[in-house]
Copies of this chain bind each other. A is one copy, B any other.
Amino acid sequence: MIRLQPEDLLLVLGARPPSDVGAWLRDGLRDAVASGRLEAGAALPSSRSAAAGLGVARGTVAAAVDELVGEGVLESRPRSSVVVADLARHPVGASSRGGPADAPPRPASVGAPDPALFPRAAWARAVRDAVRALPDAELGYPDPQGLLGLREALAAHLRTARAAPVEAEDVVIVSGVAQGLALLGEVLAGGSSGRRVVVEDPASPGVIEQLRDAGLDVVPVPVDGRGLRTDALPDAAAAVVTPAHQFPLGVVLAPDRRRELVAWARDGDRLVLEDDYDAELRYDRQPVGALRGLDPEHVALLGSVSKLLSPALRLGWVVAPPGVREALVDAKRRADLGCSVPEQAAFARMIESGAYARHLRRARLTYRRRRGLLLDALAREVPHLPVEGVAAGLHLVVRLPDGDAEARAVAALRGAGVPADPLSGASARAGAWGVILGAARVQGAAVPRVVEILGAVVTRGEVSFASPRE
């Protein structure tokens, strides 16, 4: 085992600032672990010797270490040693807990997070504390708009994290983005603006199914390297978009196009449904602010805990413009009367206690590291296969030259336990071939396996893209 010296820490941390020594230690150590400059398993010096070596108070070191242990960046071991956590220790397809033999595993979605990162203990604590504190009056039938305490906590979180104007009264709690889209689809279908809805091409087949189920006519508009082609927007009642991180291509909607999309909505009194897909999983910089910030009257912002905590929780939100809010709450009431109060209260408590922010930091670090290792391996071994999108989210798109390669890649990846969908299934256009690859759990031995599969599907000489990358 590597035993780090205080000098090693000083090297990765850099010069000690005159103030906020705690943040310097904490953020510096976190970055060093995430970037791999401190290796997994390496043991930290004792807090006494670290404090002496770095010239800081022992309590400051202990506090920073405690916080990083809480985040999962460091790990406590027996005999009080603290080691750098292995953020990539759960192999793909292997469960950290054995499931009952009779529960057939459902194939994981390409957008699903690694369930091994779900903060089980923190969630159980949040439920316990929330259920203990709930007033009796909240244990009757729920408010169909959502528990006020959660709407307040979420509004505060979204104002900061998504730079969008959000108040508790704007928020409607739903059972995930799927329900949010189904209910907004119902509201649109019952309105007087017609039944045409713009979707991105490519887009999630599930989203398109949800809209069609609501009785809407779906009009695909192409996406290029700068996002939705706003010059191609037809007349329609609404548009469903993923501006922060386009699904599946991973591009960010360009600033001029953001403005054009919002102008299209405002000029025709249309509604933009902003599916804030992956916005809080950007790894290289702050995500762009939510589109809602440009026009809160014409943009509904949808989000959920599915990528950030777990899709098993079924909790999401719609930040709804005043014009559709009442109809949306009514649709929610008619659908199921409202969401579970103990679960809403528990999520509010996780936000307020900081446990949610700690979990997000830890998840971002882990996924960033895994993504980096996979991208490095792909660039090294199959450089002829283009990988799309910015550094964000839980999936990658690898372009492939034809439908045959696509079908073989999807089958082989799924066979290896890696979630994979055909890009052609997400597009109405011919010639968009590739694989949408769920990368959340790809690590360790799974990295060379993925590279090997993709390398075998397309040998270097064969590559010729019918539809070049735009």
Name A's B-contacting residues (CB within 8 A): 95-100, 102-103, 105-106, 108-109, 112, 115-116, 118, 120-121, 123-124, 127-128, 131-143, 148-149, 174-176, 178-179, 182, 209-210, 213, 306, 310-315, 334-343
Contacts and interface: CB of A to CB of B under 8 A. Distances in A.
A-B residue pairs, 8 tightest by C-beta: A99-B135, A115-B139, A312-B341, A124-B128, A179-B336, A115-B136, A175-B336, A95-B136
A182 B332 CA distance: 12
B140 A115 contact: yes
B213 A100 contact: no
Contacts of A179: 335-337
29 contacts: A95-B135, A95-B137, A100-B135, A103-B137, A106-B141, A109-B141, A112-B140, A115-B136, A115-B139, A127-B127, A127-B342, A139-B312, A141-B312, A142-B314, A175-B175, A175-B336, A175-B340, A176-B336, A176-B337, A178-B337, A182-B336, A312-B340, A314-B336, A314-B339, A315-B340, A335-B335, A340-B340, A340-B343, A343-B343
Contacts of A105: 137
Contacts of A310: 139-140, 341
Contacts of A118: 139
A102 B138 CA distance: 12
Given A179-B335, A340-B312, A128 B131 contact: no
A134 B136 CA distance: 29
Contacts of A142: 311-312, 314
Contact of A100 (B115, B149, B178, B210): B149
Nearest to A99: B135
Contacts of A134: 97, 120
Contacts of A342: 123, 127, 312-313, 343
B334 A314 contact: no
Contacts of A136: 95-97, 99, 115-116
A95 B135 CA distance: 7
Contacts of A99: 135-138
A109 B343 contact: no
Contacts of A210: 334
What is the count of identical protomers in the complex? 2
Nearest to A105: B137
B124 A178 contact: no
A103 B138 contact: yes
B338 A314 contact: yes
A108 B139 CA distance: 10
A133 B99 CA distance: 9
A80 B179 CA distance: 52
Nearest to A341: B312
A138 B118 CA distance: 11
Given A103-B148, A120-B131, A178-B337, A312 B140 contact: yes
Nearest to A94: B136
Contact of A314 (B137, B149, B313, B337): B337
A136 B120 CA distance: 11
Given A98-B135, A115-B140, A213-B334, 11 more contacts: A100-B149, A106-B141, A116-B136, A120-B134, A124-B127, A128-B128, A140-B312, A141-B306, A176-B337, A312-B340, A314-B337
